[in-house]
Structure 1
């Protein structure tokens, strides 16, 4: 299956996610053709889910939070993120987000 949820850019990667807030823990659930499904241990109020998502992705990639930015979908369950990182290939990045 082609992974349209992750693409390489000149400054890093774009990541399409679909979040489910209010989970028992933050984790990657699955990947569809167009989105990485993530459960977050945060409520969808006052930007808490967005903050949790940025923290979760930054931790997964071993990056500072400032390297991860939500570019689309601030108030939606579907979001597009920009991850500023260099030196990684698309397959290496896919491995970081593989479902364990």
Structure 2
């Protein structure tokens, strides 16, 4: 299981991973944009679906652990070790 801190930007023109940033405490967070609006949990659902597809895991393996009403979220990815998760994300970011 790996935890993934996310800084979400809903209402974007395209779903995409923008790269790494830092939160107000200086911890690394992954910047992600989704087209869905932050209404009735639509942006959170779109985030889970998008990350599952991007990481090549099932949707049921990706769960929103914290931050349902916030732009800063904590995602848990089951079945993937933290080093493997970072490697996959770095590959996605490098591919643009």
1:31 aligned onto 2:16: no
Question: CA offset at residue 15 of structure 1?
Answer: 0.1
Question: Which residue of 51, 67, 70 maps to 2:45?
Answer: 51
Runs of 4+ in 1 over 6 A off after TM superposition: none
| Cα contact 2:2–2:78 (8 A) shared by 1 | yes
Is 1:21 the equivalent of 2:10? Answer: yes
Q: TM-score, normalised by structure 1?
A: 0.80
Distance 1:20 1:62, change over 3 A: same
Question: Higher RCO, 1 or 2 (CA under 8 Å, sep at least 6)?
Answer: 2
Contact 2:3 2:82 in 1 (8 A): no
Report the TM-score, using the length of structure 2 for normalisation: 0.83
Tell me the equivalent position of 2:77.
Answer: 83
- Tell me the secondary structure at the aligned position of residue 73 of structure 2: strand
Structure ranking higher in helix proportion:
2
Tell me what 1:94 maps to. 86
Q: CA RMSD in A?
A: 1.4
**Distance in 1 of aligned mates of 2:85 and 2:16:** 16
